[in-house]
Amino acid sequence: MPSYSTRLDRFISASLGVKRGDVRLLLAARRVKVDGVVATDIAQAIGQFSHVSVGNKVLQATRPRYLMMNKPVGVVSATKDERHTTALDLLPAAEREGLHIAGRLDFNSTGLLLLTNDGLWSRRLSLPERNIAKVYTVTVAQALNSDYIEAFAAGMYFEYEGITTRPVELEILSDYVAKLSLTEGRYHQIKRMFGRFQNEVLTLHRDAIGPVELDPQLLPGQSRYLRADELNSLA
């Protein structure tokens, strides 16, 4: 759900089907509350998560929600798909409403997926200037060597987009397994970078987004709400 902001009088007029002049009367009678406080300004900004009531009638009480999921293989990072299971399909029906995915994973990739109903929050996560690193563990078909470390750190030019990737930190864990840290997410970027070495990516798992790590207690397909400290770390 995208975030929004509108005037209080416009919001109440649309919600109750009354004229804006009538909204002035409601405010004068001190019947309107925004976030528990009596409203006095018809031009007060109302956001997606403002609690608005007129008398005993609640017009809006949406709360922001932030979840992490351990995405399994074969699940689409989308809200709807006619052919495949989506990440939202893995949630109880009552929890799906309004949620979208903040930072997608490919169909066959696994690991940390963030879901929210806060559009502003998810957009901020993706801002390049915030330099939020995403950490992945990758398994490849051919043995790794120091040439990969140097090439990934230097960045790679992608002719189709006409861009050079930002430096990617690569740590070799074993002959065929590496840990990557990158601050951008170009289309199939990791697979394409290994493709320069004609080395196929066999598995790709996201371990962390910034300081938030995938909860090791979550089995594939399971999810939980982010803790306050995790939210604060991404602020």
Distance CA 82, CA 71 (A): 19
Phi, psi of 159 (to 5 degrees): -65, -35
Beta bridge partners of 66: 116
Contact 128, 184 (CB under 8 A): yes
CA distances from 32 to 8, 59, 143 (A): 10, 10, 66
Asked if 106 is an active-site residue, the reply is yes
Instruction: Indicate which residue of 81, 106, 207, 215 is catalytic.
Output: 106
Nearest to 206 by CA among 65, 77, 64: 77
Structure tokens at 99: 């949620």
Q: Which two tokens stand for residue 234?
A: 């991404």
CA distance 23 to 234: 38
Which of 181, 182, 186 minimizes the C-alpha distance to 160? 186
DSSP letter for 219, please: P
- Could you tell me how far CA 84 lies from the centroid of its own chain? 20
Please list the active-site residues.
106
